[in-house]
Amino acid sequence: MPKRVALALLLVAVTPIYAARRVVKPVPKVAAAPAGITVDTHADTPTQFLDHPFDLGALNTRGHFDYPRMKAGGLDAEFFAAYVPAKYANKGAAAFCLKIMETIHEMADACPTWVRFATSTAGIKAAVAGNRRAILIGIEGGHAIEDSLDVLRAFYRFGARYMTLTHTNTNNWADSSGDEPTHNGLTPFGKDVVLEMNRLGMLVDVSHVSDKTFYDVIEVSKAPVIASHSSSRALASAPRNMTDEMLAALSKNGGVAMVNFYPAFLSDEVAKASKAREEKLKPEIAALKAKDPSEGAVYEEGLRALMAANPLPKVSWTVIVDHIDHMVKVAGIDHVGIGSDFDGIPEVPEGMEDISKLPAIRAELKRRGYADDDVRKIMGENFMRVFGEVEKIAKELQTKEPAAAPVIPSAAK
């Protein structure tokens, strides 16, 4: 069967209402954007939007992100996470991923005076040069592809430009840092996923993966990789944070690690309190799940109320810069960035309540002696360099390698 026909049939089979959504248009040639593009590589605002739609073009008091606050924070580009909860693994994950990706397109399309949807470094620069901001898509959770390279390619065509290989769940081809390992890292199919992402020009994201999965990715990938929202394990021992050895390996790979703003990933004191809170609230959380087994709006609202009634210890926003500082010392100035995890975290550091507060990080870096060029690197230029390198390598690979043959789900195991 011709591959284009197979791809069309795949999209129709997965979710017909999204199959003919759009073809991404070529980026028009425009004047070069100003130097120093600021990029945040992870926000879960689409998940919040799905639950409670709101006007992104208006200043909101709810949540961490909207377009006026994006402008106030001097942020040029945001990766909205197409987060696929683990409950959809092997149960409609691809359809849900298409749904949230379509939502991201609509979130951008609804506010053309504020933002443009982008799929490339050129698209980001074009948006900035046109006095707009760029919105991009990153898929969170490799189970979204349902063990199919055809689905992966379809997601790329629909606009996804990175994929976090796992979330907190180990999937059929990669071990997660938040779950029991079953594959000793990547399976052979998992390695094929990484290589196909390289060929497509989709950034490989190692946030959430197990240490062994990380090292397998570093060994296999033909392009630099990213950690879209991961902090330093030397400063906070969360398993999803990166050790100094991992940071050194990422640096050698040419990649970039973006610091997460969640207090439990920044402070061991907060992490300890978070675990104690989880234990304390187990009965209440179980009751919420019994009330809303699908973990829908009722569950989410109840969970947010429980978290608000049982707050964690406060941590200053300057701890974010402590992590940046340490990671720069280990990985080098060219290999660190920011990945806030805004709208996906229940608490934020004091003084970093939303995306509008980003200038404080820039100012604190300057106060600590960072040169202007180095501040620009951390705030987004490092990521732009890596994204551009991934695009370049993809073009080279596409001239040498055809698309891999379709893989049926059973072959992933």
For tokens 């990706």, name the residue: 101
Check 40, 66, 76, 140 and give the catalytic one.
140
Q: Are 389 and 223 in contact (CB under 8 A)?
A: yes
Quote the CA–CA distance of 280 and 283 in Å, as a whole number.
Answer: 8
Cβ–Cβ < 8 Å for 225, 259? no
Name the β-bridge partners of 248: none
List Cβ neighbours of 390 (8 Å cut-off, separation of 6 or more).
198, 201, 202, 203, 223, 224
Q: CB-side exposure of 65: number of CA atoms within 13 Å?
A: 24
Catalytic residue among 42, 64, 323, 326: 42
Q: Would residue 42 show up in a list of annotated catalytic residues for this protein?
A: yes
Catalytic residue among 64, 105, 143, 167: 167
Question: Active site includes 278?
Answer: no
Q: Is 335 an active-site residue? A: no
Task: Tell how strand 39-43 and strand 77-83 pair up.
Answer: parallel
- Tell me which of 105, 183, 229, 323 is the catalytic residue: 229
In angstroms and rounded to an integer, the radius of gyration of the C-alpha atoms of the chain is: 20
- Tell me if residue 140 is catalytic: yes
In sequence order, the 6+-apart residues with CB closer than 8 A to the CB of 403 are 3, 149, 153, 196, 199
- Catalytic residue (one of 64, 208, 326, 335): 208
| Active site (catalytic) residues | 42, 44, 140, 167, 208, 229, 341
